[in-house]
Structure 1
Amino acid sequence: MTFRYTDSQTRQPATRTLPVVQFSWLILQHVLPKGLQRVRDYGLLHGSARTLRLNIQLMLLGLPTWQLSVKTEPLKATRDCPSCQQAMHCVGITRPR
């Protein structure tokens, strides 16, 4: 199998020829087993942790972090009970498999 790709070091397009089994192995290295989550979906690698990561980087460099330390409160969606008009609280979410 012959395929084109962009070389990460030279940023130039290149072609490569491999047997089908070896090509499939290269692709399947990026597939997670069922039930596992990508690590970047949690903790410091999560997309919403960008400000925290920047603050940590600035602290490690010895720079002041006061520009990025402004925290905003996330907006929470509220829904009232149709019968008693009290705020309902989410206790869990289920997703179909």
Structure 2
Amino acid sequence: YINSDTGKTETRTLPGEDFLWLVLKHVLPRRFRRSRDYGFLHGNAKRKLSLVQLVLNVMVKAIEPVIRPQFKCKQCGEVMNHIAFRFLKPT
């Protein structure tokens, strides 16, 4: 865990019951929902969020698109579409 006083990563040994208590403190009771799932914080409320940002005069930087290199087929020379990326472990 990261110690909030020092900001350093530390290791702590706990009995199982204490560990479960610390984990279960973050679980909401039945029928409760996180507040971020409602109102303008909901995932589908982009228009409401932009309206709130406009009213509060909050400027959000636009995300710059990542420019990826184009790979061409060795046989036909056409540009290939990326379907997935696979990262290999260094040997």
Q: What band does the TM-score fall into relative to the shorter chain?
A: 0.3 to 0.5
Structure having the larger proportion of residues in strand: 1
Give the alignment's TM-score, normalised by structure 2: 0.42
Give the alignment's TM-score, normalised by structure 1: 0.40
